[in-house]
Amino acid sequence: MVTERGKPLGRLVPLSPDPLEALRVLAQVGVVRWSGQKPRPRKPVAKAKRRPVADLLLEERG
């Protein structure tokens, strides 16, 4: 059991021998769905053209 100031936050459990088994269990109970197809590639992350986004946020926050 993982706790913070005496309150439970989570628990550590050993990995399943089959990594896909956890996904199968989640699908069986309706937490996740699988379309039967391969995952599509993710779209690229937007990038700032001139200055890093972190700099713009820091400037905006003052």
H or E segment at 53?
helix 53-61
CA distance 13 to 26: 16
26-56 pLDDT, tens digit per residue, is 999 999 998 889 888 888 887 767 888 888 8
For the chain, the domains span: 1-36
8-32 pLDDT, tens digit per residue, is 999 998 887 887 888 888 999 999 9
Q: What's the pLDDT at 30?
A: 94
Handedness of CA 21, 26, 27, 32 (dihedral sign): negative
